[in-house]
Amino acid sequence: MSLLVVGLSHRSAPVSVLERASLVGDEQAKLVQDTLAAEPATEAAVLATCNRIELYADVDKFHAGVAELSTLLAQHTGVGLDELTPYLYVHYEDRAVHHLFSVACGLDSMVVGEGQILGQIKDALALGQELHTAGRLLNDLFQQALRVGKRAHSETGIDRAGQSLVTFGLEQLAQGAPVAEWARGKRALVIGAGSMSSLAAATLARAGVAELVIANRTLERALRLAESLAEQHAATPAAVSAADEETLRGSLVARAVPRDRVSAELPHADIVVSCTGATGLVLTAAELRTALAQRAACPPGAHPAAADVSLLDLAMPRDIDAAAHRVEGLHLVDIESLAEAAAEPSGEPGSSAGAMATDVDKVRAIVSEEVAAFGAAQRAAHITPTVVALRTMAADVVASEIARLDGRLPDLDDKQRAEITQTVRRVVDKLLHAPTVRVKQLASTPGGAGYADALRELFDLDPQAVAAVSRADGSARTAGPNDPKGGRA
């Protein structure tokens, strides 16, 4: 195993760099394809979220792999290599496994313990399977990471410690008040209908907002989300059509509008959440000032009274102009301010923070245990093609000797020939059983990689035969998501 990860995250780089380094559109697919085309890499996968970009690869040369993966990250993010390099981290082999397992458990998240990262890891695996860039190693790694993350959430209280970025952001907007009390009765505008925006809309709906408007470039997607949320709050919501929007009414008023109607909705919104894939600003400071002026001119009772308009920007790169921080009447929480808030001490020993620390320690123990198990399994798997090639060679020798016996003793009947053949096979199997079982055990220990080489040397095995077994095993493991041999985790 020569697993290498090169990446940057909120822990290693300022938000200003992460914002510029984000991968948009089909850049993730292009990055993994170009990585696979690079000489040091035989497998590749990319994990890209709003606060991390990590490139995973199976490489045959460490230094050349680091240089190549760093260069590819710079090329595809558009950030110069000289500028990017100080913020990159590198993990290799067991340390790389430990890193991904920690990420999967939420230990490396901006909000410790958040569970959304599991969906993002699943998406990274699915992309690698779809593009056939994830081979045996990365399939095993990412599928095991998903299992480790689920184990951490089921066996510890990390869920109590962890929150989604959405929940954390809303708590920052509420400034110490319970989110449900703070949001109740307000009007909310959610820009975007992707996974993060959908989670924000659902969270606000549960918190009791009076009205929820979903604005999206694709109106149909916004309509589906609005309808789903309305149905959860009323048994039979009625749809009211307008020229360019759909209104769904129940105990929660949920509406869907095209994104070009955002400026018309802004003056009536008390809470605005934005998370789109746009490369430029969705809301400028000037647009927000105009909305505040229109809001102030609204007749009494036209919208709920609120001291400030609360803005939550979960996009990377940012959707909302950072200059909104300086506009009176606006309260903006973005990725940068969330990172600062997450870095602050959360409490005293013995408090809820102390309980969180206990859960974190339990998860770390799980990660260490799973890393050791994964390493042992990979080392054992590494020798399997050699053992298979050895047994294949032994079977060929038996077949050859039986064929020669047929020539020397042509009068043997079928029963005699079958008995002799079975006896010879049993002898060979018994001779090989103990050594092959023992060599697998030895290979699974740290430093056991050399046993495969020793086995090939002792029995003069054809390297091509071993490689053929490896290729066959790899093909079975890298089948696409719709193939019965493969599939998504």
- On whether 109 is known to bind a ligand per the annotation, the reply is yes
> Distance between CA 76 and CA 30 in Å, rounded?
8
- On whether 193 is known to bind a ligand per the annotation, the reply is yes
DSSP state of 341: H
> Distance between CA 66 and CA 90 in Å, rounded?
8
- On whether 120 is known to bind a ligand per the annotation, the reply is yes
- On whether 194 is known to bind a ligand per the annotation, the reply is yes
- On whether 275 is known to bind a ligand per the annotation, the reply is no
- On whether 192 is known to bind a ligand per the annotation, the reply is yes
Q: Where are the alpha helices (DSSP H) in 40-115?
A: 62-77, 81-84, 94-104
Cβ pair 125, 488 in contact under 8 A: yes
Active-site position among 50, 105, 275, 298: 50
- On whether 7 is known to bind a ligand per the annotation, the reply is no
Helix (H, G, I), strand (E, B) or coil at 283: strand
- On whether 482 is known to bind a ligand per the annotation, the reply is no
Helix (H, G, I), strand (E, B) or coil at 383: helix
Helix then strand then coil, % of the chain, to nearest 5: 55, 15, 30
Kindly report the backbone phi and psi dihedral angles of residue 115, in degrees, each rounded to the nearest multiple of 5, phi listed first.
-100, -10
The tally of CA atoms less than 13 A away on the side-chain side of residue 403 is 6
> Distance between CA 324 and CA 275 in Å, rounded?
16
Name the residue type at position 150.
K
Burial class (CB in 10 A: 0-12, 13-18, 19+), 73: buried
- On whether 350 is known to bind a ligand per the annotation, the reply is no
- On whether 289 is known to bind a ligand per the annotation, the reply is no
- On whether 52 is known to bind a ligand per the annotation, the reply is yes
- On whether 197 is known to bind a ligand per the annotation, the reply is yes
Residue 105: active-site member? no
- On whether 114 is known to bind a ligand per the annotation, the reply is yes
Residues 6+ apart with CB under 8 A from 233: 205, 250, 251, 252, 254
- On whether 49 is known to bind a ligand per the annotation, the reply is yes
Largest interatomic CA distance in the chain? 110
**What is the separation, in whole angstroms, between the first and last Cα of the chain?**
21
Cα 359 to chain centroid, rounded: 22
Kindly report the backbone phi and psi dihedral angles of residue 3, in degrees, each rounded to the nearest multiple of 5, phi listed first.
-80, 135
- On whether 22 is known to bind a ligand per the annotation, the reply is no
Catalytically active residues are 50
Annotated binding-site residues for substrate read 49-52, 109, 114-116, 120
Annotated binding-site residues for NADP(+) read 192-197
Annotated binding-site residues read 49-52, 109, 114-116, 120, 192-197
